[in-house]
A and B are shown apart, each in its own frame.
Chain A
Amino acid sequence: MNKRFEKHVDGRNDLFIPFVVAGDPTEETTINLALMLQEEGANAIELGIPYSDPLADGPVIQRASLRALEHGMSLEKAMGLVKQMREKGLEIPVVIFTYYNLLLQLGEERFFALVRENDIDGLLVPDLPFEESEDWRESCNANETALISLVAPTTSDKRLQAISKEATGFLYCVSSLGVTGTRTDFHSSVFTFLDRVKEHSMIPVAVGFGVSAPEQVEKLKEHCDGVIVGSAIIRQVEEQVEVLKKEASQKEGIDQIRAYVRNLISPYGKVKIHS
């Protein structure tokens, strides 16, 4: 079992798991965003690796990926950023969020060497469904790395059972069909779906895809153990992109995003540690 997950994620019901794209718009921004998010109460960070063909992602994350790819971000470089985050005081678990092709090209051996070298805690591969993931599941277990599984409202009971039996870290519930991106409201069936997942799951259950308002977080509170916030944060990054690119104004940009995040997860009433 991964120690950072044990300390920061296990047994909690107020999980805030933000997603940032490595290198969007600069490496330094990503490092400072991660540290800010920890200060605001994040329990884990999903570090998104930019990809040319992100099948599960909507336009916001697609654009972020392009911004990061423009200056040559890669899976290996992104994993190296985690080391710098750790040196600056990041204690919460980091999950590498990467499409399968990038992982295949890096190779299993190299990936886990980098996991150890850079104190990485988890792996999430959006296009590696349960049926194709057996080998990676084994090697993740052997390397004390959580392999985050996804379930969707259309996931059958049979698959839900099989998936939750093997799931580690937290169980990622996709709130609705389609791609990542902000939605104004959830379909009411999402709550029955979450209750169904909670019944099966032995580990914390978090919801992602479309979480972008404190009202949603409030409503979701009693049906799951936390929220995953991606596009909503990336949209903030996009709005501040020029400010974030310049060293002199970067802190100002990060603080804007901090204010947004603080409001978004206010229903959790987390204790804030101010730097």
Chain B
Amino acid sequence: MSTSVPDQRGRYGRYGGKYVPETAMYALEELEQSLNEAMADEKFMTSYHEELKKYSGRPTPITHAENLSKRLGGAQIYLKREDLNHTGAHKLNNAIGQALLAVRMGKEKIVAETGAGQHGVAAATVAARFGLECKVFMGEEDIRRQELNVFRMKLLGAEVVPVSSGSKTLKDATNEAIRYWVANVEDTFYLIGSVVGPHPYPKMVRDFQRVIGDESREQMEALPDKVIACVGGGSNAMGMFYPFLKDDVCLIGVEAAGKGIHTGEHAATLSEGRLGVIHGSITYLLQNETGQIQEPHSISAGLDYPGIGPEHAYLNETGRVTYTGITDNEALHALKVLSEEEGIIPAIESAHALSEAIKQAPDMNENEVILVCLSGRGDKDVHTIMEHLGGDVNE
């Protein structure tokens, strides 16, 4: 098992690459060069880690979910608490790294895409922190669904740009952010939110998220038997898995199976998608027979993406990581269980990973350990949860 991906061309096996218009090539070359210089610069990395510590509150703790483990009667479940990061999710780790890079490159403006608004809020947050102008592209459909996050971004001083093209959701917001970036590359930095997009984005985001896995390895007394994380684009999972790739640890990525794989309404890219190109990268994606990209479905906006990071496609192919699916209802159930047992309301995204742990724990021994990446907190989802549980928590 080699972990020396991506190669010079930004390839993870046959995945990844740079499938972008010629107009974007210069921007990517410039980014790649600056990124390599920054990553090799001790001062840059120190300021990144300082910022994580003093602004975002890292390291995030690991919590032993004792009540939950006892209730399941099997493996011990531990939670990596990314929900305790500033702004309530792992998203900020990456946003801080990229914003520092933007400043280093002399860019004055950042653009970002957002689906539900979590990455948009993270981008708006670092823009405020580092004195950058910030435009967040967001589909009109999502703006309607996520009023509160739109307001949060505005409060942080960002401009939210409604996207009315295509299906008016995350994939279209991403298209629009890339289009804008390419036209304004001179003073603008594109702050992508996940391990997707053309090279070097998937690598950069992984390297700014690996702090999740690096900290976890240090914090755990011994290597866990299994590590589980949810996967939309896949940034929290990639950040969590990457430092464990060479260890004897079972890694499990959980996709959103939505209303059930058989219904066609899901975001299970690896199990139901086909090889193709999305947002500049060769990977798996949900598409129709002729290659038009299809809209995914998940109750969690953060997993509602028709593609998946190219490195996940690669790790799936090599078999190093196992990918499974959890439905909307299973995730909601896990969310309720964790809330009741441990007093932690997880993001619905993270509840997918948790649900897989709940499935697997009873078949394991009491001295075995599952580490779950609790990528975010559920406050943002309370409205959705209420709608689905009909306001009656006890059903």
Contacts and interface: CB of A to CB of B under 8 A. Distances in A.
Interface string B5-40: 000010000000111111101110100000000000
Interface residues of A, number: 39
Interface string A166-207: 000000001001110000000000000000000000000000
A75 B175 CA distance: 21
Contacts of B20: 55, 127, 129
A214 to B, nearest CB: 25
B128 interface: no
A52 B275 CA distance: 16
Given A104-B275, A127-B280, A53 B293 contact: yes
B242 to A, nearest CB: 25
B287 A150 contact: no
B390 interface: no
A127 B19 contact: yes
B277 A101 contact: yes
Interface in A101-123: 101-102, 104-106
Interface in A133-158: 150-152, 154-156
B293 to A, nearest CB: 5
Nearest to B179: A179
Contacts, number: 110
A132 B18 contact: yes
Given A62-B166, A154-B23, A156-B26, A102 B179 contact: no
Contact of B21 (A55, A101, A131): A55
Given A53-B175, A150-B21, A105 B26 contact: no
A55 B178 contact: yes
Interface string B255-279: 0000000000000000000111111
A56 interface: yes
Tell which of B26, B185, B274, B289 has the most Cβ of chain A within 10 Å.
B26
A153 to B, nearest CB: 9
Given A101-B291, A177-B183, A152 B23 contact: yes
Contact of A55 (B9, B167, B179, B183): B179
21 contacts: A52-B292, A53-B171, A55-B179, A55-B279, A56-B21, A58-B179, A101-B277, A102-B291, A105-B287, A105-B291, A126-B21, A126-B22, A130-B22, A132-B18, A152-B22, A154-B25, A154-B185, A155-B25, A156-B29, A178-B182, A179-B183
Interface of A: 51-56, 58-59, 62, 66, 69, 74-76, 99-102, 104-106, 126-132, 150-152, 154-156, 159, 174, 177-179
